[in-house]
Amino acid sequence: MGNRMYRKEVNKRSPMRVFERSIHGGLGPGNIGVVMARHGVGKTAFLVGLALDDLMRDRKVLHVDTKNPAERVREFYDEVFHELAETSALADKMTTQLQIERNRMIHTFVGDGLSMERVRGALGYMREHMDFVPSAIILDGYPDWETVTEEQIVELKKLASDVGCELWLSAFTHREGQKKDERGVPEEVAKFDGQLSVLLELRPEGNHVKLQLLKDHDNSNLADLHIELEPNTLLLAWH
């Protein structure tokens, strides 16, 4: 009952509904998506919402964080899940939460060098000893877009392809002085456009956060979506 309830009701608040209004329909295995926002807008909460969309469908997710300890990352998940469960009257909340924890792995590299070698090593261990192969990998806080190389981005793309998973990254936008292309994408991200399939931006507007789709694969006809998110959980706003 819990899973069916999620697909029918809880899923309505997932930020992934942005793709229901676009042509392609999602990120897709082997592809990289980037979530961009100013500092403090809620990129981590948004990425957690993306992960929950998979986890509550019984898909596996690896969440790698370079800024927060594992306990804080779990708190993010608990906060967003609690909001989903409360506002959607989720049936069998405890069973669903256990399902989320069973399908999720959290690795943190706070104050330590994150490398693809270490990520691949962790993935190999999880596959061999835990039968854990993620449908999605969240890399929150990596890479540093001001110093990242083409080789590193290609390596990320290869990782997504080799695992057969969706790979989500985050990037900062700044109030002033940051050069952007005609779409509003920062130049340090836009220069890797050939390796990136989906670009999303979170923009504070009044009491909500607007979710804007700036790139959707090869679709050149992007509509103005007017999707509003709650500022705390970055879930779709109730109207």
Dump pLDDT digits (tens) for 3-14: 444 444 556 677
State how far the alpha carbon of 177 is from the alpha carbons of 23, 34, 94, 170, in Å. Answer: 33, 21, 47, 20
Domains of the chain (ranges; CATH) run: 2-229 (3.40.50.300)
For residue 203, is pLDDT > 80?
Answer: yes
- Stated as kind and residue range, the H or E segment containing 83 is helix 70-88
* Mean pLDDT, range 141-166, rounded to an integer: 94
For residue 47, is pLDDT > 60?
Answer: yes
Q: What is the C-alpha to C-alpha distance for residues 61 and 46, in angstroms, rounded to an integer?
A: 15
b/e per residue 56-77 (b: at least 16 CB within 10 A): beebbbbbbbbbbeeeebbebb
pLDDT for position 137? 98
* Mean pLDDT, range 188-198, rounded to an integer: 95
- Stated as kind and residue range, the H or E segment containing 61 is strand 61-65
The 10s digit of each residue's pLDDT in 8-42 is 455 667 777 666 666 566 889 999 999 999 988 88
pLDDT for position 60? 97
pLDDT for position 129? 96
For residue 227, is pLDDT > 70?
Answer: yes
CA nearest 201: which of 18, 53, 72, 62?
A: 18
For residue 53, is pLDDT > 90?
Answer: no
* Mean pLDDT, range 178-198, rounded to an integer: 92
pLDDT for position 29? 95
* Confidence label for 153 from pLDDT (cuts 50, 70 and 90): very high
- The token pair that represents 171 in the structure block: 């990037």
Q: 3-class SS at 157?
A: helix
* Confidence label for 223 from pLDDT (cuts 50, 70 and 90): low
For residue 109, is pLDDT > 90?
Answer: no
pTM of the model as a whole: 0.89
pLDDT for position 3? 47
For residue 101, is pLDDT > 80?
Answer: yes
